[in-house]
Amino acid sequence: MKELRYDPLNIVICGIGGQGNVLASEVVASTMNDLGYRVAVGETYGASQRGGSVMSHVRVSKDLDMGVLISAGEAHFIIGFEPLETLRIARQYAGPQTRIIYDPRPIYPQGVLRGTQTYPDLAALRAEIRSLGAEAHEVPAADIAMACGDSRAANIALLGAFSRLPGAPLDETALSAVLQQRFQGTVLEMNEKVFAMGCAAMDEKGR
Partner 1 sequence: MEWTMTANDPGRVCLMQGNEAIVRGAVEAGINFAASYPGSPSSQILGMLGKIARERNFYAQWATNEVCALEACIGTSLANARSICIVKQNGLLCVADALHCGAQHGVKGGLVIVTSDDPSAHSSTNEFDSRFMAESADLPMLEPTNMQEAKDMVPYAFELSERLRQMVIIRLTTRVCHGRGNVTLGPLPEAPHEIQSVGEWDRMVCVSYRHTPMLETLDGLREAFEVCPFNHYTGPEHPKKLIVAGGTGCLYSQEALRRLGAAEETGVLSLATLWPLPETLIARYLADAEEVLTVEEVDPFLERNLQAIAGKNGYRIRFSGRGDGALPRIGELTPDLVLSAVSGLTGKPMPPRPKVSEEPLLERDLNFCAGCPHRATFYLLKRAMRRAKDPGIVIGDIGCYIMSGQEAGHYAYQACNCMGSGVNLAEGLGQLTAYCLKQQVVTMCGDSTFFHSILPGLVNASYHNSNMLLMVLDNSATAMTGFQPHPGTGITAMGDAVQPMQIRPVCEALGCKVTEADPFDVEKTAEILEDLLRQPGLKVLIMKQPCATLMTKSRRGKVKVWVDQDKCVGDGCGCDKFCSRVWGCPGNSWDFTKNKAAIDPVSCVGCGVCAKLCPAGAIQVEGGDAK
Which positions lie near partner 1, rule CB under 8 A?
A: 16, 26, 29-30, 33-34, 36, 38-48, 50-53, 65-73, 84, 87-88, 91-92, 95-96, 107-115, 117, 119-120, 128, 132, 142, 146, 151
Gap between the Cα atoms of 76 and 109, Å rounded: 28
Least Å from the CB of residue 145 to partner 1: 9
Least Å from the CB of residue 180 to partner 1: 15
Residue with smaller CB distance to partner 1, 57 or 164: 57
Residue with smaller CB distance to partner 1, 73 or 200: 73
Residue with smaller CB distance to partner 1, 46 or 167: 46
Gap between the Cα atoms of 79 and 50, Å rounded: 20
- Give me the residues paired with residue 100 across strands: 78, 136
| Backbone torsions φ then ψ of 146, nearest 5 degrees | -65, -40
Residue with smaller CB distance to partner 1, 111 or 203: 111
Least Å from the CB of residue 67 to partner 1: 4
Gap between the Cα atoms of 21 and 12, Å rounded: 10
**If we measure between CA atoms, which residue out of 16, 11, 76 comes closest to residue 41?**
11
Residue with smaller CB distance to partner 1, 181 or 203: 181
Least Å from the CB of residue 30 to partner 1: 4
Q: What angle do CA 17, 179, 177 make, to 5 degrees?
A: 140
Q: Are 59 and 79 spatial neighbours (Cβ–Cβ below 8 Å)?
A: no
Gap between the Cα atoms of 71 and 170, Å rounded: 22
Least Å from the CB of residue 98 to partner 1: 10
